[in-house]
A and B are shown apart, each in its own frame.
Chain A
Amino acid sequence: MNWNVLFDFSPLVDEFDKILGAFWSTIRLSLMTGVLALILGTILAGMRVSPTPVLRAAGTFYVNTLRNTPLTLVLLFCSLALSDTLGLKLSNVSTVNFYWLAVFGLSAYTAAFVCEALRSGINTVPVGQAEAARAIGLTFTQSLRMVVLPQAFRAVIAPLGSITIAMMKNTTVVLVASYLEAAALMKDMFEEYGATLPIFLGFAAGFMILTLPTGFLFGWAAKRWAVAR
């Protein structure tokens, strides 16, 4: 048994460019997913508090379904059902195609959590303010956009941070959708060099370099934009 291999950090150095590239993929995946999940989650939250029963029901159904389905299933559905069976092609370049499938699957999943966080934020806004907004003639959507949501967002910056960190870590699951990001590369390197502690530590550190500042940033923003009542 060659114990040296277990403590050999050289693969990390040798493959540094590849590793950077893989983490760059993770970052691109996270950013796009973050934006889409935020937009979709906001729309869902709006639906769930809307006066229209059909919209409320649709929002509730979506959230309950996606929140209770394992992410792996969602992504497999995207890659197998959407891509292979239905032949949905977003690009002729297969890595681009897989990128978007992964983004869609991950956004669809994360949006359910964003929606629920936002909804709890909406509950922190006194009902009276929404009534006052309607009383000056704002429509439901206007009062949601201009009065309720801005305050709801500020109230849930910290939980949105947790969701973001979870989402960044969840990007590792997209390897089931065949998109090469950090976790997929780690798996490849395990196969090539053997599953060693240094490789694992290198990748784990890579994720912490991404997630820790994210956590601090959200924590700072939560304080910075707290609404005084």
Chain B
Amino acid sequence: MRKVLICAGTGCISSGSPKVTEKFQEELSKRGITDIEVYNTGCHGFCEQGPIVIIEPDKTFYCRVEVDDVPEIIEKHLLGGQIVEKVLFHEPQVDKKVEKYTDISFYAKQQRLVLHNCGHINPERIEDYVANGGYEALRKVLTSMSPQEVVDEIKKSGLRGRGGGGFPTGLKWQFTKDAKGDKKYVVCNADEGDPGAFMDRSVLEGDPHAVLEGMAICGYAVGADEGYIYVRAEYPLAIRRLQIAIKQAEEKGYLGENIFGSGFNFRIKIKAGAGAFVCGEETALLTSIEGNRGMPRPRPPFPAVKGLWGKPTNINNVETFANVPLIIKNGADWYASMGTEGSKGTKIFALTGKVNNTGLVEVPMGITMRQIIFDIGGGIKGGKKFKAVQIGGPSGGCLPEELLDLPVDYDSLIKAGAMMGSGGLVVMDETTCMVDVAKFFLNFTQKESCGKCVPCREGTKRMLEILEKITEGKGEPEDLEILEKLAYNIKNSSLCGLGQTAPNPVLSTLRYFRHEYESHIYDKKCPAGVCSALLEYKILEDKCVGCGACARVCPVGAISGERKQPHKIDPEKCIKCGSCMEKCKFGAIVKG
């Protein structure tokens, strides 16, 4: 039977997939066709191309599908067996249309294990998950493994936490298992706050049962009977899908009392976050579940010993849990055969920024940055020159071109002054100002600092002020040293990971792009042409034809001039938004 899979992830929904789904259903029933199944899936990770429609078993990949395209797809493809060219994906590198998703280079070079179900099953139907081998791993551990065997298997797999720190998961489970306590908890960290990262969201929306199964396995291994998933408030769809999944799993007996007749009980509750990035930090997250201001607590004691309501608590990230059923099903050796010495398995990255294909990519650990950006990401947008890639979000760092061949794993990234973080990858080209990027991240961490400890509360503020000063052209030579000293002290003495890593984007850009800081300070110039205080927009008289397009688009009315006469920009009024330059067809407006 032919199947039409329509993406209903957040990205595709916002580009109109619900209407496309409706149209398919309507058109098919109008034609009395009943042997074609239409259903919604979770995110394919290629949201930029949404709405995405897949025809199975043909493996056809249609993108940016609009309602009006639907009749044609039905007539031509589903009934006529012909491909509809115009909604095929256009491969930028080779300038060719591609039919099958298996041939799209964005997918072809990925190794989608954790994401294998995303985009292919209906996340709101537990049967789909079970049909693909779901809950087999849970059955296996409950019917044939002791808790210690489970912990050992995870240890042997080499799985490390995907939430940022990269702590060995098996070891963490062992700590919780060994901790004394009559009551223990399993907590799933789904607070995904790194701006630019959305892999956890995709997994929750596209394959929620994988996370539930991973948590239940963990519960069995560490001796917990209760789990919490702490989900960002900004992810309503993920919350809804999780609610549905939990209910279905309880109905089927995969969650609840006496699972698989083993005597093991496990229940999962959802807690919605309330909008604080710092609550992704594990102790803050627990404090928040307890109903307090989400301020981190000192460690030790670690949550494994004293966690939620003082009880031993094992906390892992969404992606970490989603890896667990795979490991149990396929064995630790299989898992450990992928990746590098210290980092096993695959990692999902959220590739964004100035790159041709943006989206979620799952790749084996140890792959180089160049492969991700150029082979999968299709290279830099608009044929511009690569400048840097920021990895690990606000706690990570920027890596320059020289490090493009660095194998991506936990340890090599730390050495290079970045970190895996949750796996955000933001590609920057020559038009990106690195001082501005550092300022952007610092602005974020500064706003999100909980305010509990002095170095982070007061220090990130001062770092930001110095960066602002530099981008405004008021930087002084000693500022760079002050920044470095301050950064070092903040890292060294802050209470939690937020403060301890907040200076990373500044330190890494200072390390690899110091000259850009120096241009801002000494020459009062922004080489990338971004920092507006150091720019001036000008209209070139000989190129301006006086069309007035710029004057119409200027939000502050800074442009004046007679029709057919060269126009002029009033520098006093200009807010340097750049709209006029974008609008001018004659290249008459320049900045510098």
Question: Do these two chains interact?
Answer: no
List the interface of chain A (C-beta within 8 A of B). Answer: none
